[in-house]
Amino acid sequence: MTMRRLLAAAAIVAFASPAFAAQCPALMAKVDEALQTAQLSDADKAKVTELRQKGEEQHAAGQHAESEATLQEALQILGM
């Protein structure tokens, strides 16, 4: 029974990872688009840019849940 649960958990992770991966590029695009017209302080703009870069690096490293959280933080600063 333990082996079955382990295999089931592995299958869930395998199928969930591509779902997270698909969200990252869409979130990056949202940040990029919002940055073009956002009226932010220099400090907030720098923070959003930093979070955007970090999110892209996390995505490239396969850390999709972390990337999504980082990019959502950037979007919150942008008021989205």
> What pTM was estimated for this model as a whole?
0.73
What mean pLDDT is predicted for residues 13-25?
62
Is the pLDDT reported for residue 11 higher than 90? no
pLDDT tens by residue, 26-72: 999 999 999 999 999 999 999 999 999 999 999 999 999 999 999 99
> Left, alpha or beta for 41 (phi > 0: left; psi -120 to 50: alpha)?
beta
Question: Please, which pLDDT band fits residue 7 given cuts at 50, 70 and 90?
Answer: low
In Å, how far from its chain's centre is CA 80? 14
> Left, alpha or beta for 26 (phi > 0: left; psi -120 to 50: alpha)?
alpha
